[in-house]
Amino acid sequence: MKKVDYIICGDYVLTMNERLDAFHDGAVAVKGTRIVDVGSAEAVLKNFSAGRTIEGKGRAVLPGLVNTHTHAPMVFFRGLADDLPLKDWLEKHIWPAEDSLLNPGFVYDATKLACLEMIKAGITTYNDMYFFGGSSAAAAKEIGIRAFLGAGILDFPGKTAQTPDEYLGNAEKFILDWRGEDLITPCLAPHSAYACGPGTLKRITELAERLGALVSIHLSETEWEVGEILSRYGRRPVEHLDAIGFLNQRVLAAHCVWLSDSEIAVLARRGVGVSHCIESNLKLASGIAPVPEMLRAGIKVTFGTDGAASNNDLNVLGEMSTAAKVHKAVAKDPATLDSKTALLMATRWGAEVLGIGDRAGSLEKGKLADMITVDLKKPHLTPVYDMYSHMVYAAAASDIDTVMINGRLVVDSRRPVTCDEEKIMQKASEWGKKIAVYNSGPRQVN
Ligand SMILES: [Zn+2]
């Protein structure tokens, strides 16, 4: 018998590999940061002895969920100003609050809260776009979550830089400082084609190529954006980015709501990954992305929560459920976005668009041990006919029982083990008192 660190058992093990292998009474063996075997519990328990065996009765085991677009520190702005037009929301509430309060301490404390929320919801990897990346990296590393952290880049002055030169310099330094870390992957994150001109975007493409970095950008989120880019450059947003040589496999585009057929073809041809943020798009009334059309064109569409201020939670299970239902209704076809496809988008494809599909996103021998167990002993999950269906249409974040990232347990039977949950929420409440003056409703905070 070979010695391993963990054997994690489940009544159901969904591997989400190419063949979508699934095991009834299955198990996963983990040694160090890697999965060393996946199969029937009988075979795994016969071949391996573990430092700790996690029982599988009434549980399902799946790869960890991947959140491909968020602004983690914005959790502190959750519920601060809702039900407002985007312009009022940003200009009267979010930007003034950021202007006066944003600093490295804010980003560190807020990222801890966001990471705590995400791990408890079964998210093992997230892709962020924000500022003060060093503070985000320190917080994510402490929590033990796999984090792709995009250094925000704008053409206009902000909290971290005054000019594109300064933003790019900061981004390069951030990438050089943090690359090589096990869990942290520093990236580039130009905000959008309307906040960054062609000159800045071309320099970002060169820098990404030189450093081998992922590039995240908001793309065609609103009708306003399409009109704005058309009036500035005479081309629609995707056509514009393609014309300046920006689109390639390193690019992960968030939203992609307003696309023409030819723009869908361009995204597919360039191998651009897409983060579909259905709940944010619904709440901000941005529109509904043509997801079935993108999938038919062969684009890897994945799920992003966007920031908590426009969602209002960081819960990929919720995104899957909402997206699957909305796209059925839009297509007038209940077969649209079936549960297996939705779960693939939330797991393996998420890892693929982040460039780690060969190492993560599914439960396979040799891959990184990023996985979750789901407690099935719940009224809304009993009985089980189809585990994929339960995960997409019935499971809640509170059903996530145990979470392993990189071979380390970060949530053990609902209890976070890498951080002090009470202390993180206490800090968040203290920040909330300072932020409350930017509230759109009655000035009240607990
Ligand atoms: Zn966003």
At 237, is the secondary structure helix, strand, or coil? Answer: helix
Residues 45 and 70 in one domain: no
124 CA distance to ligand 1 middle (Å): 19
User: Which pLDDT value is given to residue 21?
Assistant: 98
- Indicate if the pLDDT at residue 42 is higher than 70: yes
User: Which pLDDT value is given to residue 95?
Assistant: 85
**Polymer length of the chain:** 446
Residues 194 and 319 in one domain: yes
Question: What angle do helix axes 198-211 and 164-178 make, rounded to 10 degrees?
Answer: 20
Q: If pLDDT is split at 50, 70 and 90, which confidence band does 89 have?
A: confident
User: Which pLDDT value is given to residue 439?
Assistant: 79
289 CA distance to ligand 1 middle (Å): 14
Q: How far apart are CA 136 and CA 96, in angstroms?
A: 21
Q: How far apart are CA 342 and CA 280, in angstroms?
A: 17
Interval 52-78: pLDDT, tens: 999 999 999 999 999 999 999 999 999
38: left (phi over 0), alpha (psi -120 to 50) or beta: beta
Q: How far apart are CA 311 and CA 304, in angstroms?
A: 10
- Indicate if the pLDDT at residue 263 is higher than 80: yes
User: Which pLDDT value is given to residue 444?
Assistant: 52
Q: How far apart are CA 372 and CA 13, in angstroms?
A: 10
Q: Is 40 exposed, middle or buried (0-12, 13-18, 19+ CB in 10 A)?
A: middle
Q: Which residues lie near ion ligand 1 (Cβ < 5 Å)? A: 306
140 CA distance to ligand 1 middle (Å): 19
Q: What is the mean pLDDT of the chain?
A: 96
108 CA distance to ligand 1 middle (Å): 19
Residues 315 and 327 in one domain: yes
Residues 75 and 7 in one domain: no
69 CA distance to ligand 1 middle (Å): 6
Q: Residue 420 gets which letter from DSSP? A: -
Top-confidence residue, 440 or 46: 46
Q: Is 436 exposed, middle or buried (0-12, 13-18, 19+ CB in 10 A)?
A: middle
Q: How far apart are CA 410 and CA 419, in angstroms?
A: 9
User: Which pLDDT value is given to residue 441?
Assistant: 60
73 and 107 Cβ atoms separated by less than 8 Å:
yes
Q: For residue 76, is it within any domain?
A: yes
Interval 185-197: pLDDT, tens: 999 999 999 999 9
25 CA distance to ligand 1 middle (Å): 40
Sign of CA dihedral 358, 375, 12, 8: positive
Q: For residue 364, is it within any domain?
A: no
434 CA distance to ligand 1 middle (Å): 24
Q: How far apart are CA 100 and CA 401, in angstroms?
A: 39
Give pTM, 2 decimals.
0.97
User: Which pLDDT value is given to residue 87?
Assistant: 77
Give the domain-ending residue among 353, 381, 402. Answer: 353
Q: If pLDDT is split at 50, 70 and 90, which confidence band does 239 have?
A: very high
- End-to-end CA, the chain: 54
Helix, strand, coil percentages for the chain (3-state, nearest 5): 45, 25, 35
Number of domains in the chain: 2
207 CA distance to ligand 1 middle (Å): 22
320 CA distance to ligand 1 middle (Å): 17
Q: How far apart are CA 247 and CA 231, in angstroms?
A: 21
Residues 326 and 407 in one domain: no
Contacts of 385 (CB under 8 A, 6+ apart): none
Q: If pLDDT is split at 50, 70 and 90, which confidence band does 165 have?
A: very high
User: Which pLDDT value is given to residue 392?
Assistant: 98
Distances (CA, A) of 131 to 43, 97, 201, 258: 48, 15, 18, 27
112 CA distance to ligand 1 middle (Å): 19
187 CA distance to ligand 1 middle (Å): 15
Domain boundaries, position 59: 2-64+369-416
253 CA distance to ligand 1 middle (Å): 10
Q: For residue 443, is it within any domain?
A: no
Residues 292 and 384 in one domain: no
Q: Average pLDDT, stretch 136-150?
A: 98
18 CA distance to ligand 1 middle (Å): 30
Nearest Cα neighbor of 140 from 94, 189, 79, 181 is 181
Amino acid identity for residue 107 in this structure: V
280 CA distance to ligand 1 middle (Å): 9
Residues 406 and 325 in one domain: no
20 CA distance to ligand 1 middle (Å): 31
Q: How far apart are CA 67 and CA 345, in angstroms?
A: 10
12 CA distance to ligand 1 middle (Å): 34
Residues 277 and 404 in one domain: no
Q: For residue 430, is it within any domain?
A: no
Partner residues linked to 215 by β-bridges: 188, 251
CATH number of the domain enclosing 204 = 3.20.20.140
101 and 132 Cβ atoms separated by less than 8 Å:
no
Q: How far apart are CA 127 and CA 119, in angstroms?
A: 14
Q: How far apart are CA 118 and CA 319, in angstroms?
A: 13
User: Hunting for tokens 């509170």 — which residue is that?
Assistant: 398
251 CA distance to ligand 1 middle (Å): 15
Q: For residue 391, is it within any domain?
A: yes
- Indicate if the pLDDT at residue 437 is higher than 80: yes
Interval 324-334: pLDDT, tens: 999 999 999 99
Interval 388-412: pLDDT, tens: 999 999 999 999 999 999 999 999 9
CATH number of the domain enclosing 377 = 2.30.40.10
Q: How far apart are CA 224 and CA 30, in angstroms?
A: 49
Q: For residue 330, is it within any domain?
A: yes
User: Hunting for tokens 């932020």 — which residue is that?
Assistant: 435
Q: For residue 314, is it within any domain?
A: yes
Residues 228 and 97 in one domain: yes
Interval 207-225: pLDDT, tens: 999 999 999 999 999 999 9
- Indicate if the pLDDT at residue 295 is higher than 70: yes
357 CA distance to ligand 1 middle (Å): 23
Residues 181 and 47 in one domain: no
Interval 102-133: pLDDT, tens: 999 999 999 999 999 999 999 999 999 999 99
50 CA distance to ligand 1 middle (Å): 42
Q: Which residues of 388-402 are buried (b: 16+ CB within 10 A; e: fewer)?
A: bbbbbbebebebbbb
